[in-house]
Structure 1
Amino acid sequence: MYKGYLIDLDGTIYMGKERIPAGEAFVHELQKRAIPYLFVTNNTTRTPQSVQEMLANHFNIETPLETIYTASLATIDYMKEKNLGNTVYVIGEEGLKSAIFKAGYVENKENPAYVVVGLDWQVDYEKFATATLAIQKGAHFIGTNPDLNIPTERGLLPGAGSLVALIEAATRVEPVFIGKPNQIIMDKAVEKLGFEKKDLLMVGDNYLTDIRAGIDNGIPSLLVTTGFTKSSEVADLPIPPTHVVESLAEWDFDAD
């Protein structure tokens, strides 16, 4: 029996704009049993408040704001610890930009301390050029998350990792990635729940991010094949997840 759950959102609890009823029921059961949980998402396009509203309004999940930990929040925590200055150039949506600017950072396109790259629906060549030049001048290069694709009702679309890869190729500078499966976001998430890693379960649909976040950081993992990683791929995974289900409806909360 796990004492706390770290849970992915897109592809696990919902799919784009589509409901995953078993995902909703999974969260409701956690709440019913009073088991602590934290939504750990690489999505930086939404603020934690908008994630909270979206879950309530579209997916029948009422959850406290403190149960939502985004790659945007983890990026800010990292920047504060790095303490290189308060200037930044951001490629990303409002969820990322507003969080960074609210934390006291100011935009500088010419010579920022940091260049932060997340998913940006309106990205264009000029944004890539500005980021590339700033990194060449010495800005610390941060990728919010390495997801090459995001699962949607349309299919797998380019993710933040694809944008980061373009700038990495242009600058030949390796970024620091914050989001899953990296240690930065996972250490913060574990700290927030306050349990030992062995007593937590990382739940997600993407082997490369969610499940590797568990494997690489010593946290048991549960792969649900409702999103990115399909059932047909499980047998060939290099390191198997601790648990695999085709639907979260199959999960036994009382199992060891």
Structure 2
Amino acid sequence: MKNYKGYLLDLDGTIYHGTRVIPEAITFINELNKRGIPYLYLTNNSMVTAEGVADRLSGMGIPAKPEQVYTTSMATATYLADQKEKDKTFFAIGETGVFEAMNKEGFTYTENNPSYVVVGLDRQFTYEKLSIAARAIRNGATFVATNIDPALPTENGFLPGGGSIVASVTTASATKPTVIGKPERIIVEYALEKLGTSPEETIIVGDNLLTDIQAGVNAGIDSLLVLSGYSTKDDADKYEVSPTYIEESLLTWIQKMPS
């Protein structure tokens, strides 16, 4: 096992299940802090801010600061700011996380001929919002999706995810978006830049082969599948690509970490 100098950590299924913390996760984070190994909580959740994620984790007893959180909304705003091809106007279907991230990058919200249309999960999604987005895209706006997760895991089962809304905008506008979140490499590359470690010395940790592990493959970094959430060992045996490591829990990983 390599002595990794940076960790990108998934949340749901890896650190917690809905409102319930995974006990091994606290031990794992404490071990990273003890060793002085930097890490980022890397999430496809576009609805909340980094501060909101950190507050939630802290409330569960998990050490977390806003600067240790990187969301798909943050990556989306950074990606669009890097384009520098159009004026910085946008229309968004999303929640607080999207709007705050875009505002921090200097973008201005408009429903009239925006340069960019950003789509994430929006629990107040309406036909009117769909109409504005589709019309703007057909008129030349760049279409960007924070993520295309089809479902959102909750303590009450799976609910429609951001991908369900992205699919409706894709259909209405006859245009496919640029996708930022996991499993795409875009969010991983920005996260590495924020973390300050190279791809060769960083590992991504998660419970989902389709998002977390595939993101590692797409970005060319090592990956650890923990069997505490979505994907099983049987899933991993059948999947087209393999994680670098598979562990029953974060606790068994700690026991194997080089001293």
TM-score w.r.t. structure 1 length? Answer: 0.94
Give the gaps of 5 or more residues in structure 1: none
Structure 2 CA distance for partners of 1:193 and 1:99, relative to 1, 3 Å: closer
Aligned residue in 2 for 1:246: 248
Query: What aligned pairs does 1:17-166 form with structure 2 within 5 A after superposition?
Result: 17-57=19-59, 59-83=60-84, 84-166=86-168
CA drift of 1:255 comes to 4.9
CA drift of 1:187 comes to 1.0
CA drift of 1:231 comes to 3.4
C-alpha distance in 1, partners of 2:126/2:38? 41
SS in 2 for 1:203: strand
Counterpart selection for 2:191 from 189, 192, 196 = 189
CA drift of 1:116 comes to 0.2
Superposed CA deviations along residues 95-135 of structure 1, whole A, max 9, x for unmatched, are 21122124322221131000000111111222112111111
C-alpha distance in 1, partners of 2:63/2:104? 25
Are the equivalent residues in 2 in contact too, given 1:151–1:228 (CA < 8 A)? Answer: no
Are the equivalent residues in 2 in contact too, given 1:46–1:94 (CA < 8 A)? Answer: yes
1:154 partner letter: N
Give every structure 1 segment of 4 or more consecutive aligned residues whose post-TM-superposition deviation is greater than 4 Å: none
C-alpha distance in 2, partners of 1:6/1:94? 23
C-alpha distance in 2, partners of 1:159/1:24? 27
Aligned residue in 2 for 1:233: 235
Are the equivalent residues in 2 in contact too, given 1:151–1:227 (CA < 8 A)? Answer: no
2:46 partner letter: T
TM-score w.r.t. structure 2 length? Answer: 0.93
Are the equivalent residues in 2 in contact too, given 1:231–1:246 (CA < 8 A)? Answer: no
C-alpha distance in 2, partners of 1:159/1:153? 14
CA RMSD of aligned residues (A): 1.6
Are the equivalent residues in 1 in contact too, given 2:182–2:215 (CA < 8 A)? Answer: yes
Aligned length: 255
C-alpha distance in 2, partners of 1:155/1:136? 35
Aligned residue in 2 for 1:169: 171
Give the gaps of 5 or more residues in structure 2: none
